Amino acid sequence: MLTVDFDRLGLRAGERVLDMGCGAGRHAFEMYKRGADVIALDQDADELATVSEWFAAMREEGDLPLGAEADVKQGDALNLPFPDGDFDRVVASEVLEHIPDDDGAIAELVRVLRPGGTIAVTVPRWLPEKVCWALSDAYHEVEGGHVRIYRGSELVTKLEAAGLRFTGRNHVHGLHSPYWWLKCAVGVTNDDHPAVKAFHKVLVWDIVKRPLPTRLAEKVLDPLLGKSMVLYLEKPEKA
């Protein structure tokens, strides 16, 4: 399930890209398949080990564009282990809401992006996230959980103040908002609840099959209830 639109990001084969806070690697895998030189960075060594195994499996399949590269790197969002301007594209998906010093993390993302490069930043959208917090403290009061809820204008202002130029936004995963509201209502760890299990099956069906009914539903729901807000920005060329 992808949150970032890589065509809108402007990703091209051969470009060096950073997936900051890669987690399980969903965006890193897609960028690798598109022929990029990918660095998947995270603090979690176990997550990175799994991502590295998947990179190796993809290489063994031999179905990658010529020149595609991928590697993992353990590191801190507040002190990225890369030189200035090292990346053509940067992705930070569902990361900033976890970091107390988000301004510091944003400064690092801007630093490692080359002038003229582009970045996609995704965070939970304000209204769906507000509902989750209202329904369940356990949803966010966990180690490494969400520490803030962003309004779109607030995050755009932060990113622009760090030196980026805002180019657009959209909202995605409209079917996921009611799913998480349901989980928060019955207990975020209560995956055996019949309603939760049934809804989860629908989401898996949607991700795997991409059927027309759910495509149409998300087209209607995304602008209204999309779980994630996606911001696209670019770093201006130096004068």
pLDDT at 232: 98
pLDDT at 238: 78
Q: What is the pLDDT of residues 8-61, one digit of tens each?
A: 999 999 999 999 999 999 999 999 999 999 999 999 999 999 999 999 999 999
Q: What is the pLDDT of residues 146-177, one digit of tens each?
A: 999 999 999 999 999 999 999 999 999 999 99
Nearest Cα neighbor of 155 from 118, 125, 192 is: 125
- Mean pLDDT value across residues 108-117: 98
Residue 202 has pLDDT above 90, yes or no: yes
Largest Cα–Cα distance of the chain, in whole Å?
Answer: 59
Tell me the residue range of the domain where 163 lies.
6-125+139-173+225-234
Strand order, beta sheet including 37-42: 69-74, 37-42, 16-20, 87-93, 113-124, 228-234, 165-172
Residue 239 has pLDDT above 60, yes or no: no
Rounded distance between C-alpha atoms, residue 165 and residue 103, angstroms: 16
Q: Is residue 93 part of a domain?
A: yes
Q: Is residue 105 part of a domain?
A: yes
- Mean pLDDT value across residues 81-108: 98
Q: Is residue 208 part of a domain?
A: no
Q: Is residue 212 part of a domain?
A: no
- Residues belonging to the chain: 239
Whole-model pTM: value is 0.96
Q: Is residue 148 part of a domain?
A: yes
Q: Is residue 12 part of a domain?
A: yes
Number of domains making up the chain: 1
Q: Is residue 104 part of a domain?
A: yes
CATH number for the domain harbouring residue 74: 3.40.50.150
Q: Is residue 204 part of a domain?
A: no
